[in-house]
Amino acid sequence: MTAPTSTRGYVDPYRLGNDSYASLYLDVLEHVPDLTFPLSIPVYSKMRRDPKLSSIQQGWILNLLRAQWQLDPAGCRPPVVAAVADGLGLPIKGRDETPGPARLRGVSWGDHLRSVFRMVPFGFSAFELEADVSDGTARLAGLWERPQWTISHIHTDGKTGLLTGATQDGLANLHTPQMPANNLAWYAREREGSNWAGTSLLRPSYASWLIKEEVRRAFAVANVRWSAGVPVLEALPGTNPTQAQMGEAAEVAQAARAGISAGAATPPGFVMKILGITGSLPPTQEFLRWLDQQCAASALMNAFELGETPHGSRATASVFVDALLLALEAEAEFVADVATRQIAARIVDWNWGEDEPVPRIVVSGVGSRREVTAEALQMLLASGGLAADPALEAWIRREWRLPEREGMAKPKATAPGVDLPKDDNPELESDVGKVAAAARPRSPRRRKQNQPSLFGDDEDAAARIQQQWDAVKARLLRRWPKLAAPMVAELADQARAAVDVGDLALLGQLQVSAGVVAALAVPLRKSGTDLAADAAAGVVAEAAAQGTDITAPDQPGADRVVQHADAVARIIAAGYASGAARTGLQLAGVGPQEVRDEVERHLTELGTSVNGLVGDNIGSLLSAGQFAGRLAVLEEHPARSYRSNETLDRATCSPCREVSKQSYVTLRDALVDYPGGGSFRACDGRGRCRGFVQPVW
């Protein structure tokens, strides 16, 4: 097949900038004459100042500006990447260094983006490129904005529909564009054919905006005209006023004004009345609100209206936000593609020719910027995504304005009624003391008269459940250094051997032997099954408080707890292996013994926190144990109904607050929200959720 070398098309009837497009363009592409370019520019300029439309376009633009824009160097030579990055003022993906000084006399990417996104209300944005060749190299010196209201003609090719240039001077020779396309960076939003004027985000809102302007003016006049009533002078019955008297009465009525000291004297035979509007009025405010909703819906900003409508929920909002984010991502990727092809590619072409690979402009994090919270850091540290190095700790203390580290203080006393076995590891005293303090029984909450109790007549049940959980977790944390010692020693020896033979790849194969993991699971099984038995006994006590006699089965929930304990032992072992590998890689340049000592120290510190890899997984196991024990009783002795309870969470998340005290008819219905380990399925804290199902007999 022979490749075509020419085209036999015709002049595109949609193209702009000449007289041939007029009739077909208005009939097919745009049926509102005022919205054809360039007549559309003053219309959109008015529309973007509307309060509702202004908030809509800012919702788009600010999310796009807040995204992370970078230059992807994949497949390109370093000098090429550096020239484009310096010219555009963009950071290079995967590197931490800031853009070079060339951008100071060239382009500010952030400022360029703000100008680019004026295409959101107007439909397009245009920029003229300027290069600096004073040092023999063509560097981008400027991306000068050509505002939409200054462009009089857009020139296109009649056969291909491609942009050939633009003209600002309306009196210039329109056969040759004043600014040729090869010197322009042109962003046309949702271009159709050769319609390089693009499509404004505000275009679907035009009808609503136009009607709203008329209605709003009429509503304002009505309020001004009728808010104080209309003075009327009425002749008294039995009188026959003359023409002069009627004229005098009319003058008095017209001169009447509303005010604190306002007054009037009526001519003889007349009485003044203040009349307002009689009959029903059209719901103008509701109609204006509906028009605003149509504007928001046309821009996928439905989430903005949830507070203004009688319907709406968190689930509905998430659907609306997801649709908006998809649109924002598509918009950002379009801008990145145009900037790559029309700016970055030209910088490369100026210096190395058109065959040189061009680094791409990429964008990420559109519509969201992940904030660094304490919870997020804890999850990253526990999963091994981050290492707790001194630099990270210093940054955290600086950002949260925490005092400088002075060492770990020992607790003065433990909580009464909590049996904490003694151990020879004083470094755990601080965290264990915090756990023990949390185990103190709380004051029972006072309930309103005739309000059914979640715990029967025993208001201390919740405190007892919490105290049992805290006490068992404290015991395990006190014992943990001895329990984990074989695992720590094994991984430290493996790391030393890998460094000793000089094969760092072996660090990625570190693992805890099956025998050590099985030994670690034994105390976890024992603690979980004991707590499950205590939880089952608690259900029996709660039933007795409500006048129902039931019994707990032997070894309630033991099978489920054993499986959970084995899984937790493997998860912790995998986390320790990952931590040992990371530490070994960081210190691969030192001696094998130093690597072993540092790995051992790092792994020992993993178990010294109430939270983290060890604390969170142990807590999850204990919660699952309590759930399994309670579930075993409820499966044998179904209650009349069930109710969710989130009172044990010290920091309850929004989903848990919403589900708390929700009623369920059957246990199966309750387990839909509280499956598996017993925690609420939508909890933001996931395995740390302390919610459970409370039976009502």
pLDDT of residue 80: 93
Find residue 284's DSSP bridge partners: none
Pair 663, 642: CB distance under 8 Å:
yes
pLDDT of residue 223: 73
Sheet with strand 641-645: strands edge to edge:
663-664, 641-645, 692-696
- 145-149 long-range contacts, Cβ below 8 Å, gap at least 24? 145/115, 146/179, 146/184, 147/118, 148/41, 148/118, 148/122, 148/123, 148/124, 149/38, 149/41, 149/42, 149/45
Pair 71, 81: CB distance under 8 Å:
yes
Mean pLDDT by 10 residues, the chain (697 residues): 53 46 49 82 90 85 88 91 89 64 67 92 93 88 90 84 85 78 92 86 87 81 72 84 86 80 80 77 77 81 65 60 84 94 94 93 76 70 66 70 56 39 42 39 37 38 76 87 89 85 81 89 90 86 84 84 89 87 77 83 78 82 84 82 71 72 78 69 67 75
pLDDT of residue 430: 42
DSSP 3-state of 516 = helix
pLDDT of residue 358: 95
DSSP 3-state of 265 = coil
Q: What is the DSSP letter of 92?
A: B
pLDDT of residue 604: 83
pLDDT of residue 279: 65
CA-based nearest residue to 307, from 298, 299, 296: 296
Consecutive H or E run containing 636: helix 612-636
Burial 178-208 (b: 16+ CB within 10 A, else e): bbebeebbbbbbbbeebbbbbbbbbbebbeb
Radius of gyration of the chain measured on its C-alpha atoms: 37
Burial class (CB in 10 A: 0-12, 13-18, 19+), 246: middle
pLDDT of residue 340: 95
The number of beta carbons lying within 10 Å of the beta carbon of residue 343 is 22
CA-based nearest residue to 265, from 276, 244, 242, 249: 249
CA-based nearest residue to 44, from 152, 153, 121, 151: 121
From start to end of 484-591, where are the E strands?
none
Domain extents for the chain?
19-202+332-364, 370-405, 408-637, 641-697
pLDDT of residue 697: 74
Distance CA 667, CA 671 (A): 6
Distance CA 9, CA 14 (A): 14
Burial 295-327 (b: 16+ CB within 10 A, else e): bbbbbbbbbbbeeeeeeeeeeeeeebbeebeeb
Residue whose entry in the numeric block shows the structure tokens 């008095």: 252
Q: What is the DSSP letter of 305?
A: G
Distance CA 301, CA 151 (A): 30
Sheet with strand 153-156: strands edge to edge:
153-156, 163-167, 179-180
Burial 82-115 (b: 16+ CB within 10 A, else e): bbbbbbbbbbbbeeeeebeebbeebbebeebbeb
Distance CA 382, CA 611 (A): 8
Residue whose entry in the numeric block shows the structure tokens 């462009």: 151
What are the CA-CA distances from residue 475 to residues 166, 622, 690 (Å)?
77, 12, 19
Distance CA 236, CA 270 (A): 6
DSSP 3-state of 694 = strand
pLDDT of residue 441: 37
